[in-house]
Amino acid sequence: MGIETSCDETAAAVVEDGVSILSNQIASQVEIHARYGGIVPEVASRQHILAIIPILKQAMAEAKVTWSDLDGIAVTIGPGLAGSLLVGANVAKAISIAHRLPVTGVNHLEGHIYASWLVGRSIDFPVVCLIVSGGHSDLVLMRGHGDYVVLGRTRDDASGEAFDKAARILGLGYPGGPAIEQAARKGTASIKLPRAWLKGTNDFSFSGVKTALLRLVEGDKVALSASQSGELPTRVDAAASFQEAVIDVLVTKTVAVAKECRVKQILLVGGVASNKLLRKRLVENSPIPVLVPELVLCTDNAAMIAACGYYHFQAGKVDGMDLDVVPGLKLA
Ligand code: KG4
Ligand code: ZN
């Protein structure tokens, strides 16, 4: 059983042998937070408390299992919002005591990587993982189960965060990633926005492209309303240009580091990995095979946590009742 409550989705899933999904239940709070334009942590933890037991019951019903069918509980302990993580961690410990099941704490980013094991294809180490989510844009070399070397990370905004901020600048709503992707489909990437290549490093930076977009909007260089001149690029063109700039950097740097490390595969994971243009571009531009989970396994879910937990248990990683949340948890 996997449990995930690190941010704004309350999720529970049952996975068999680390690879087969028996159930994958997600209660999203997105509509509640949308009215504030972003996640309100206090509201998120209260919603997790309301949703967690029904979601656990649904996950067990969908998988047609009882407590005695389960071998262990895997729960996200970080990184994430402390109040949200605490709900999942405490429920996991309660189940562990009540049903005498071992519990293992999972790093949310490691969980995102393990969504790749639910794709149904074999994975050959070493691999390079591009983890792109609301809080992270990391390039990670994975040499075996649980063996990570962080090669690069964002120096400022994460790519998902940049999508969210760009959507806000363009008045496209929340969450920004899907909103930008949808708008971009109707536009052309006609605006040249800056790319931060940070040459000689595997790091990313997305605050520059976001600020460049903001300056264009503030300077009335983008037509946000119908009354503005027909000469200007429109909101959808700005969305397409922004998406293009972010994807260009993500794809170019990922392919370069994968070649340099002579890896066998590239794993594209995290919420931003559900972006169809990013998926397409990485596959098209990489001579190395790319594995991308289906959309529902890119954004936050508990099946990926359960899959990761399976490998923890295989490696003997069992936690005690002193298991605690670590909001700033790092991968390596
Ligand atoms: O992995 P995730 O669900 O949660 C975190 O761990 O943060 O990622 C959420 C992020 C948000 O910033 C959201 O805007 C972005 O993923 N996202 C997308 C798309 N769908 C979600 N970004 C670009 N294109 C998408 N289709
Ligand atoms: Zn996530």
Any ligand 1 atom below 6 A from CB of 176: yes
Q: How far apart are CA 83 and CA 5, in angstroms?
A: 9
Q: How far apart are CA 46 and CA 192, in angstroms?
A: 43
Shortest-distance ligand to the CA of residue 38: 1
Q: pLDDT band at residue 237, thresholds of 50, 70 and 90?
A: very high
Per-position b or e across 260-294, b if 16+ CB within 10 A of its CB = ebebebbbbbbbbbbbebbbebbeeebebebbbbe
CB 184 within 8 A of CB 277: yes
Any ligand 1 atom below 6 A from CB of 178: yes
Cα 12 from chain centroid (whole Å): 16
List the structure tokens of 107.
């790093």
Q: How far apart are CA 176 and CA 321, in angstroms?
A: 38
Pocket test for ligand 1, best of 133, 169, 294 (most atoms within 8 A of CB): 133
Integer CA distances (angstroms), 70 to 125, 297, 302, in order: 29, 22, 15
Atom of ligand 1 nearest to the CA of 135: 7
Sheet with 20-28: list strands edge to edge.
20-28, 9-16, 2-4, 73-78, 103-107
Ligand 2 center from residue 230 Cα (angstroms): 40
Question: Above pLDDT 70, what percent of the chain?
Answer: 100
Q: How far apart are CA 124 and CA 187, in angstroms?
A: 39
Q: How far apart are CA 30 and CA 102, in angstroms?
A: 32
Q: How far apart are CA 111 and CA 77, in angstroms?
A: 11
Q: What pLDDT does residue 161 have?
A: 96
Ligand 1 center from residue 329 Cα (angstroms): 19
Q: Which of 309, 321, 327, 323 is nearest to 72 (CA)?
A: 309
Residues 40-81 pLDDT 10s: 999 999 999 999 999 999 999 999 999 999 999 999 999 999
DSSP 8-class letter at 4: E
Q: pLDDT band at residue 38, thresholds of 50, 70 and 90?
A: confident
Of all protein residues, the one whose alpha carbon is nearest to atom 1 of ligand 1 is 271
Asked if residue 174 has pLDDT above 90, the reply is no
Q: pLDDT band at residue 229, thresholds of 50, 70 and 90?
A: low
**Mean pLDDT, residues 115-137:** 97
CB 309 within 8 A of CB 105: no
Q: How far apart are CA 303 and CA 297, in angstroms?
A: 8
Length of the chain: 332
Q: What pLDDT does residue 103 have?
A: 98
Any ligand 1 atom below 6 A from CB of 160: yes
Instruction: Mark out the alpha helices in 170-301 (DSSP H runs).
Output: 176-184, 207-218, 235-260, 276-285, 295-298
